[in-house]
Copies of this chain bind each other. A is one copy, B any other.
Amino acid sequence: MGNSKLYKGSLNTIILKLLDEEGKMYGYEITQKVKELSKGELNITEGALYPALHKLEAEGLLDVEVAKVDNRLRKYYKPTEQGEKETINRLAELEDFIRSMQQLVNPKWSIQ
């Protein structure tokens, strides 16, 4: 919410990471998972999520599979082979970034 503006640029990587972990997920599920994992700290808005998913698909990093559950539409996304490779790279980049931010913001912290 308040600090959602902070993850500009990292949303795509978060999506890739979750999909890589879970195998496949649908949009709404991703928003709930992020909320859960961050204990309510991070809320992905639909206006950010869906365009991001479409872009990742257009880039060939995700595959879609439509399903109907309880008479409701779901679009399951899962990483392509290329998507899995990209996930590794982007995740490493994001981890480096987080480490750098910590170094700047609170050098007393150390990562175990």
A104 in complex: contacting residue of B9, B37, B109, CB < 8 Å: B37
Shortest Cβ distance from A38 into B: residue: B100
Interface SS of chain A? helix
Q: Within 8 Å of chain B (Cβ to Cβ): is A73?
A: no
Shortest Cβ distance from A8 into B: residue: B8
Interface range, A side: 35 or more
Q: Within 8 Å of chain B (Cβ to Cβ): is A64?
A: no
Q: Within 8 Å of chain B (Cβ to Cβ): is A65?
A: no
Let me know if A98 and B105 touch, CB within 8 A: yes
Query: Closest Cβ of chain B: how far from A7's Cβ, in Å?
Result: 7
* Alpha-carbon distance A112/B109, docked complex (angstroms): 6
